[in-house]
Amino acid sequence: MFPDYTFCCREFKKYGLELNKISYEKLEIYCDFLIEYNNYVNLTAITNPVDILYKHFIDSILLAEYGEISDEISLIDVGTGAGFPSVPLKIFMPEIKITLLDSLNKRIEFLKKLCNKLEIEAEFIHGRAEDISKMAEYREKFDVSCARAVANLSVLSELCLPFVSVGGRFIAMKGPNEDIASAAGAIEILGGTVSRETNYDLENEKRRIIQIKKISHTPTKYPRNSSQIKKKPL
């Protein structure tokens, strides 16, 4: 069972966040549906409601603070999986425009049903980032791209920066041991520069948010195909 409203409000306040009743009710629906759907489609290894609150919901929503997300931006969530971080962000900040991109159609179908239940608007794209970002309607069209993934920063930058308009940002949600310096060359080639790094604790676990500002257009040859990216990261 998802924790009650009083408990959730208290936990949100620990991180400087204010949770209203409408957002709470949507997060409760999200949690219940995620656990139910996870019995049929592998969406998350985290199935305890309290863990979902911290490790999925609060962690995602902290992007609003540490990633300096403002209302009315357009955001593409690359490799969104079960909708993290963009769907909790949309619940918390209803004015943002979210696009959910994932390579597995089973996840996209879950997200469509989820957003229908939550009564929130989103765009859904089934495909690989390296293919979709070549399309004119998505290339350099977003204020922010984000990813919460295990791939190293140079690989993520090649997949995510092509979606970002000049002046926008790619925000990577990473663990504490990410070697940012090793990705500096790749980021520069792709038209970006690291603008901010924020380290924080989430229930005694270390987290890091890396902001990369898009300062010039990404060369048209990027991103390369997936085999090239894996064999020879920038």
32, 52 in Cβ contact below 8 A?
no
Does residue 28 register a pLDDT over 90? Answer: yes
Residue 40: pLDDT above 80?
yes
**Is residue 52 one of the residues assigned to a domain?**
no
Cβ atoms of residues 212 and 169 within 8 Å = yes
b/e 62-92 (16+ beta carbons within 10 angstroms → b): bbbebbebeeebbbbbbbbbbbbbbbbbbbb
**Looking at the domain assignment, is residue 162 inside a domain?**
yes
Amino acid identity at 229:
I
pLDDT band at residue 59, thresholds of 50, 70 and 90?
very high
Tell the residue number behind the tokens 């920066």, with chain if given: 161
Q: Give the CA radius of gyration of the chain.
A: 17
β-strand 142-147 against 123-126: which pairing, if any? unpaired
Is 96 contained in some domain? yes
Nearest of 200, 15, 150 to residue 92 by alpha carbon: 15
CATH number, domain of 116, equals 3.40.50.150
- The Cα-based distances of 107 to 46, 69, 125 in angstroms read 16, 25, 10
151 pLDDT band, cuts 50/70/90, is: confident
Instruction: Report helix, strand or coil for 107.
Output: helix
Residue with tokens 């038209």: 191
Asked if the structure places residue 1 within a domain, the reply is no
Is residue 123 in some structural domain? yes
Any domain includes 119:
yes
**What is the residue range of 208's domain?**
70-231
pLDDT in tens, 132-144: 999 999 999 999 9
Other beta carbons within 10 angstroms of residue 59's beta carbon come to: 21
Q: Are 211 and 194 in contact (CB under 8 A)?
A: yes
Q: Per DSSP, which regions of 115-204 are E strands?
A: 123-126, 142-147, 164-174, 192-202
Domain count along the chain:
1
Model confidence pLDDT, tens digit, residues 66-117: 988 988 899 999 999 999 999 999 999 999 999 999 999 999 999 999 999 9
In a domain, 4, yes or no: no
58 falls within a domain: no
As a dihedral over the C-alpha atoms of residue 107, residue 113, residue 116, residue 122, rounded to 10 degrees, the angle is 20
Mean pLDDT of 43-68: 94
